[in-house]
Amino acid sequence: MQVPFVGLQRQFHDLHDDLLAAFERVGASGMYIMGEELERFEAAAATYCGTRHALGVANGSDALFLVLKALGIGAGDEVITCPNSFIASAWVIVAAGAKPVFVDAGEDYNIDAAKLESAITSRTRAIIPVHLTGRPADMDAINAIAAKRGLAVLEDAAQAIGARLGAKRVGALGTAAGFSLHPLKNLGVYGDGGLITTDDTPLFERLAKLRNHGLRNRDECETWGYNSRLDPLQAAFAAVKLKQLDRWNARCREIAAQYREALQERVWVPRDRAQEEPVYHNFVIQLERRDALIEHLNTCGVGTRIHYPIPIHLQECAAGLGYRAGDFPVAERQARTILSLPIYPELTQAEIDHVIASVHKFF
């Protein structure tokens, strides 16, 4: 049996008729940039996330970058984030002109809130907690520190749309949030796409201009801006998928529960905290013999990935920041032991059973 790590074509086939109808509707409209299709998706996304506003942008990286720019963050400023995320969580800070400052991960892969205070300086302007693997960061602690220090909190929710912490969904837990609509995400379109959510109306209004060249209207440019708009066609596809998202996320939690129950005696497995409802964009186990398990699972036809094998502070591009190996021991240890197993709503029970059996066979 072959169990691919991702199977995007399965979802396409399941939604074929609705996606085709969305394509024909947008195509017949003649409106291919901005317009009502995008506005409808933005309204639905804001309602879903529980925020006043949502804004479609070109990709998840732009979502974070534009918020930093709209907050006025730039040269001489520092922004705190974690070193074990995808590189985009940090390069957007550099692109805005600020300096990334890292804080080590906790055992749940999210930024360790207990270590935040020691990283804050007079130049710190914001914190970017990453809801890694689809699990919410410790936002109560992070927000308390940010409020005391007068800092913005920008959620990197690229992997976590639909996740809850208490009564709120991610996207409604900070100053603003950036989501990715990349095809591999829980709510993925057919190309690149991104989304920003916020309750801050003045911030939203600045963002709406920044994503569209800085234009006040068709002929008047209020500020230097960017070209980062979510296409109406991708917005229409996202709107189709948004209606299925809770069902898909629930299915991923079911698969995660099966993996956890079956593998907990063999490897480290993630466990949900009280008040937390993850969406399991990735199901990440840990073991010392990680590389040997990868090779074994490959022979069994089971696809795997490592998210992520090289922490950001050890990437070549980050050399100028002055960090060294050993600076973030938890993130570095995890990078040597983590392994992501296949998890997506379209997995069959036979495939799930095969993944579990294959891991057991290794031991």
Return all residues near 223 (Cβ < 8 A) that are at least 6 apart.
209, 210, 214
Percent of the chain with pLDDT over 90: 100
Token code pair at residue 286: 């840990």
Q: Average pLDDT of 350-355?
A: 98
pTM of the model as a whole: 0.96
Q: Average pLDDT of 137-144?
A: 98
In the numeric block, the tokens 């990286």 are attached to 61
Tens of pLDDT, residues 55-65: 999 999 999 99
User: CATH topology for 8-242?
Assistant: Aspartate Aminotransferase; domain 2 (3.40.640)
Tens of pLDDT, residues 209-222: 999 999 999 999 99
User: Partners of 340 in the beta sheet?
Assistant: 284, 305
Percent of the chain with pLDDT over 70: 100
**Confidence label for 121 from pLDDT (cuts 50, 70 and 90):** very high
What is the CATH code of the structural domain delimited by 245-362? 3.90.1150.10
CA distances to 44, 135, 185, 238, 293 from 243, in Å? 9, 21, 15, 9, 37
| Domain limits, the chain | 8-242, 245-362
